[in-house]
Amino acid sequence: MAIFTGAGVAIVTPMKEDGAVNYEQFAKLIEFQIANGTDAIIVCGTTGEASTLSHEEHLEVIKYCVEVVAGRVPVVAGTGSNSTETAIYLSTEAEKYGVDGLLLVSPYYNKATQNGLYAHFKAIADAVKVPVILYNVPSRTGCNILPETIVRLCKDVENIVGVKEASGNISQIAHLAAIADGCVDIYSGNDDQIVPIMSLGGIGVISVLSNVAPKQTHEICQKFLDGDVAGSRKMQLEALELCNALFCEVNPIPVKKAVNLMGMEAGPLRMPLTEMEDANALKLEKAMKAYGIL
């Protein structure tokens, strides 16, 4: 059984002006998501600036999220690392806090062979009992998890259940769906490809867009799951301008700006991420107004 179907938000981590995590505001963002129909909370992913959180902060944010959500929707924690040992540590600790699943990014910078990826993910999954979603985002990691490797892991390791596919390569994702024979839960990792990936058998999205449009992103998925493909497609196309604006600079720079524009106080970014350029901020604000969320 899938950890979740539909739209899971890759939630931002709000910061105070001094750079500390703003837990009070984080609780408000979680409540906003749940009130607007988000199907899952994905905490400490790319959008949550996990790469600049200390290990202590990373785990505290996960623990706090689980406590605030209190079982109302699934919580999936990003606990991947380019160090297998570190990923095992983060994953086993997150499991203790009661997360419903883990999201494991492929090793970045040092990369790995396909055999290395298999060994890395298997070692982490074997250290926990909760279900695991692999995260394939080669544009950030420089490392592509091939469909054959994903299927091998899902077949060989009981608690590796799916993949967040953010390669952007529809042909690769189609190949994955063709050889998986239903053993891989496929989630879109790109908001502009929700319907295309669901049309290949995907079951939802792990979404940046959901930070600012949780109800609409949920409905894109739910309409598709309910068989209203035309309605889902219409909503997907209506969201494209905003999706593009949310990625006109590296994520999560635009989405944090968008959350701040909505008055929800996501706060600043941690370096090396810096504030949005003025021209791009105007483009984002225009797209948000056109979409009706400003």
Give the model's confidence band at 124: pLDDT under 50 very low, under 70 low, under 90 confident, else very high: very high
- CA end-to-end span of the chain, whole Å? 37
Per-residue pLDDT reduced to its tens digit, 218-241: 999 999 999 999 999 999 999 999
Identity of residue 199: S
Q: With 80 as the cut, is the pLDDT of residue 1 above it?
A: no
Identity of residue 33: Q
Average pLDDT over residues 275-289: 98
* Homologous superfamily (CATH) for 6-226: Aldolase class I (3.20.20.70)
Structure token digits, residue 96: 């203790």
Q: With 90 as the cut, is the pLDDT of residue 258 above it?
A: yes
Report the predicted TM-score, pTM, of the whole model to 2 decimal places.
0.97
Active site annotation includes 289: no
Active site annotation includes 109: no
Catalytic-labelled residue, pool 63, 164, 256, 257: 164
Catalytic-labelled residue, pool 63, 118, 135, 187: 135
Structure token digits, residue 156: 């060989």
Average pLDDT over residues 8-12: 98
Q: With 90 as the cut, is the pLDDT of residue 126 above it?
A: yes
Per-residue pLDDT reduced to its tens digit, 76-88: 999 999 999 999 9
The phi and psi torsions of 136 (rounded to 5 degrees) equal -105, 105
Q: What are the sequence ranges of the domains in the chain?
A: 6-226
d(CA 100, CA 8): 13
Give the model's confidence band at 66: pLDDT under 50 very low, under 70 low, under 90 confident, else very high: very high
d(CA 197, CA 212): 21
